[in-house]
Structures are given as C-alpha cells and as structure tokens.
Amino acid sequence: MNNRLIIGFAVIFLVGVFALSLASAVVIDSVSQDKIYPGENGQVSIDFKNNLGEDVESVSLVLDLSMLPLSSVGASEQDVDEIQDGDTETVGFTIKASSDIKPGEYNVPYVLTYRLTSVPSELGNNSGIVVKHGTIGVTVGARTELSYSASVDNPVVGQKGKVTLKIINRGFGDIKFVSTKVSPSGFNLLSSDETYIGTVSSNDFETATFDVVFKDVNAKLNAVVKYKDFDNKDISQSVTLPLTVYTPQQAIDLGIIQQNYTWVYILVVVIIIVLYLVYRRIKKSKKKKKQQEA
C-alpha cells in the first residue's frame, strides 16, 4: 500500500514538473536573413533560446514551405543535439524565392521538437518530448528598376507645345509617393515645374506632362524624380533626356506644321480690290467722256 502511494506521488510530481517546464520553453529568440529577391536565394538564421531552467536535447526545427512560393536549398530540417539552460544555439536554412513571387512578408510555419532531460526515459519512448508549432517571418524584397523616356507635342521653336516624362517600373515591387520636378533647358515652362504622380506599380508606367514654349532646337528635359522604394527608403534620381525640336522651316519641310499662306490670301484680296477700283474708275471715265461728246 505504501509503495503504491509512493509511486502515485512520484507520478504526480513528475507531471507537475512537466507542466512547469511547459510554462517556460525553448523559444525562437530572433530571426535574421539575407536579402532575398524573386528567383534568388538567401540565408535565414534562427536563434533558439533555452529559458526552461534545465538542459534539453534532441532539438529539431522543421520548416513547412509546402504551401508557399518558397523552397529550401538543401534540408528544411535542422537539428541541435543539446541546448544547455540559458544558452542560445543558431541554425540556418537556405531559402529560395520563386521567380514569380510577389514581394512582401511571408509567414513560414515551423515545428519545433525537443526532449526534456528531467523526465526519465522509463516513463516511455516519448516521455518528455515537447512539440511546438509557430511561424517565422521571411521577407522577399524587390529591386527597383526604373527607366525613363520623354516625348514632345508640337516641337517647334517659338510655338507652344508639351513635354511628357514617362516613368517605367520594370521591377517586381511598386514605388510610392512619386513626384517629379523639371528644370527647363531650351524651353520656357507655362505650367508648374513640379508634378505629383503617386504610385507606379510593378510592370507599369505613369507620366507627367508640362506645357512649354520651345526656344531652342537643342532643348533638354532635366528632371529630379523622388519616390519611396519597396523598403520604404527615400530615393532621388536625376534624369536628363534630349528633346527633338525643329525650326519652323524644318517643321514645314517635315510636314509637322503647314505653311501659313494667310498673307498671300490677304495680298490677293487687296490686289483684286485695287483692280476693281481701277476698273470702276476707268469705266466711269469712259462713260463721262461719251456723254460729253454727245
């Protein structure tokens, strides 16, 4: 009878110890990673912290990438033989992002398993085994790849026209809070020198148009483009683009504008009027002369 009581108390004690152990835990203390871009891979490092108050062994971490556009290069499971009380151990994974992944934050599920050394193995093969589920965050970045072009409307010296700056986003990530400011070279601005564009989405473009009067055939568009990239960093880029502008005669020869014949029409009308007045005077003079002879 006394032996049964002793065994019962021992079991209750061990269960209590196990429950207290679960109140503390082996936890993922920090996660660090290389820059990972679509179609590329990088290292993800995970630090374990043992704050149980006792040593643990047979520590295993498994990443579940099956439902994500991510894959592991090499093993998706890493093991640590033992982590002593209060110590930190680090494991690393090489993660590759698919070529068509959308940049952003991804929650990667994991399964963390370890064994408590305070629980005797006599209680069973699975005695003292702790299994924890959770997620870690992995960030897939986006390189900013912009290109610029300029177009002109009515590009004739001395005439009103338009200059349009085209911003093309060839990168995987959007850029935001885009604005542009131009400095005239070879033309005068008739509109504001600064335009707010907003967001230029990935694989898309936006434009900013300015009203101008061209002064020189060697005109250039000098612009400063400001925006926030995918990592929310402020970026400023200077852009200089040549503009094709023509003299009035060149524009006529190329058919860009039509020859102005207004002065010819006016001259013809004036000549007709003068000839008519001369004709009327001559006619009156002849008529008067006939009357006098009669």
Q: What pLDDT score does 12 carry?
A: 46
219 and 132, same structural domain?
no
| 8 A C-beta contact, residue 209 and residue 224 | no
187 and 119, same structural domain?
no
Q: Rounded to an integer, what distance in angstroms lies between the CA atom of residue 129 and that of residue 205?
A: 56
270 backbone dihedrals φ, ψ, rounded to 5° = -60, -45
173 and 212, same structural domain?
yes
- Rounded to two decimals, what is the model's pTM? 0.66
* Between residues 10 and 155, the one the model is more confident about: 155
Instruction: Provide the residue count of the chain.
Output: 294
Domain count, the chain: 2
248 pLDDT band, cuts 50/70/90, is confident
In the block, residue with structure tokens 């009515």: 154
- For the cut 70, the answer to whether the pLDDT of residue 263 exceeds it is no
154 and 123, same structural domain?
no
Domain assignment present for 82: yes
Q: What is the CATH number of the domain that holds 226?
A: 2.60.40.10
Domain assignment present for 70: yes
Q: Which two tokens stand for residue 78?
A: 């890493």
96 and 178, same structural domain?
no
- For the cut 80, the answer to whether the pLDDT of residue 138 exceeds it is yes
* Between residues 222 and 23, the one the model is more confident about: 222
118 and 44, same structural domain?
yes
Q: Rounded to an integer, what distance in angstroms lies between the CA atom of residue 49 and that of residue 51?
A: 6
Q: At residue 207, what is the residue type?
A: T
122 and 82, same structural domain?
yes
Q: What pLDDT score does 29 carry?
A: 87
Q: Rounded to an integer, what distance in angstroms lies between the CA atom of residue 52 and that of residue 58?
A: 15
Pairing relationship of beta strands 56-63 and 104-116 according to DSSP bridges = antiparallel
Q: What pLDDT score does 11 carry?
A: 44
Domain assignment present for 53: yes
86 pLDDT band, cuts 50/70/90, is confident
222 backbone dihedrals φ, ψ, rounded to 5° = -105, 120
Q: Which two tokens stand for residue 133?
A: 């589920």
- For the cut 80, the answer to whether the pLDDT of residue 125 exceeds it is no
All residues at 6 or more sequence positions from 257 whose CB lies less than 8 Å from its CB, including other chains = 154, 156, 159, 248, 251
Q: Rounded to an integer, what distance in angstroms lies between the CA atom of residue 54 and that of residue 49?
A: 12
* Helix, coil or strand: residue 18: helix
- For the cut 60, the answer to whether the pLDDT of residue 269 exceeds it is yes
Q: What pLDDT score does 250 carry?
A: 81
123 pLDDT band, cuts 50/70/90, is low
Report the percent of the chain where pLDDT is more than 90: 57
234 and 154, same structural domain?
yes
Domain assignment present for 172: yes
Its domain, for residue 203, covers 146-253
* Between residues 168 and 84, the one the model is more confident about: 168
Give the N- to C-terminal CA distance of the chain in Å, as an integer.
172
Closest CA to 92 of 156, 136, 141: 136
241 and 169, same structural domain?
yes
Query: Exposed e or buried b for every residue in 138-169, given b needs 16+ CB within 10 A?
Result: bbbbbebebebebbbeebbbebebebebebbb
Q: Which pLDDT tens digit goes with each residue over 163-174?
A: 999 999 999 889
191 and 158, same structural domain?
yes
Segment 185-208 mean pLDDT: 95
Q: What pLDDT score does 13 carry?
A: 45
